[in-house]
Amino acid sequence: MQRYKLSSGTQVKLSDHDPRDTAEFLGGKTAGKGRLKEMNRELESLQELLYAEGKHKILVVLQGMDTSGKDGAIRHVFEGVNPQGVKVAGFGVPSKEELDHDYLWRIHRRVPKRGEITIFNRSHYEDVLVVKVRGLAPPDRVERRYAQITEFERMLAEEGTTILKFFLYISKEEQKQRLQERLDRPEKNWKFNPGDLVERGFWDDYIAAYETALTRTSTEHAPWYVVPADRKWYRNLVLASVLIETLKGLEMQYPPSETDLSKIVIE
Ligand code: ADP
């Protein structure tokens, strides 16, 4: 899955990426879903080990256009994983209290502690995406944020956080279909938000803002992955694979007991 990782310094052009790509899994949808079930079990064991070892902190950042499947990815990729070891932090329109602070204030307080996986459903990247596209802050302020974010993430990494950032890349056509489904299917009506249509009107501006953000903030210590997300099953497989590869790479060990277990007799 390393093909989806952006190495630092890459000039990103999203038109070079295919949202419908499934190149790393040739078995198709049904087999792909089966494979995900196996990966769920693998992730479950790795998360338990992470928690037991209590050494590493894992931060997963999810970004994407509306309907790109951030919620679905969290639900499916982490299915069966002990909920006590995984936290989800969602970042919506900032409150008055949040706006009265710097933009990283609400972010920093939600980062994972040792032994924990925290998933950001949207993140500080909104402060160079929606904020840029909708002109919610002056351009020079937004401009400075790429370097600030890179340094913030460097500090987290140097202090022991493993950071993985995923851009769930859907096509404009796929978004149309997903929005239409929210209109057509009564059980999905609640998800329809007219505001999504307004944001859709800014599609090209969002693509440009994403290209800039991905280009300027993909680093060795906090790499971005551009995940083909038109096919939900494949999106889930890419995420699960990268997480599993990364957790395995940490070479974690169960800690020895602090008690001399050989002396213990259970009556
Ligand atoms: P989602 O669309 O992810 O399911 P919500 O319906 O809560 O979740 O929407 C979150 C909204 O908050 C998005 O439209 C997003 O652009 C907006 N948002 C997030 N962070 C900021 C920010 N820093 N400034 C302005 N808007 C933001």
Rounded alpha-carbon distances, angstroms, from residue 211 to 125, 141, 158:
12, 18, 26
Ligand 1 centroid from CA 11, angstroms: 26
What the block records as the tokens of 108 is 């920093």
pTM reported for the whole predicted model: 0.97
Nearest atom in ligand 1 to 196's CA: 14
From first to last of its 267 residues, what are the pLDDT tens digits of the chain? 899 999 999 999 999 999 999 999 999 999 999 999 999 999 999 999 999 999 999 999 999 999 999 999 999 999 989 998 899 999 999 999 999 999 999 999 999 999 999 999 999 999 999 999 999 999 999 999 999 999 999 999 999 999 999 999 999 999 999 999 999 999 999 999 999 999 999 999 999 999 999 999 999 999 999 999 999 999 999 999 999 999 999 999 999 998 999 989 999
Q: Is 260 exposed, middle or buried (0-12, 13-18, 19+ CB in 10 A)?
A: exposed
Kindly state if the Cβ of 93 falls inside 6 Å of ligand 1.
Answer: yes
Cα 85 to middle of ligand 1, angstroms: 25
Distance CA 86, CA 71 (A): 14
H helices then E strands: how many in the chain? 10, 5
Minimum CA distance residue for ligand 1 atom 24 = 93
- 112 C-alpha to center of ligand 1: Å? 21
CB of 186 shorter than 6 A to ligand 1: no
SS3 state at 51: helix
Continuous segment of H or E residues that includes residue 131: helix 130-133
CA 35, distance to chain mean position in Å, is: 20
Question: What's the first-to-final CA gap in the chain, in angstroms?
Answer: 51
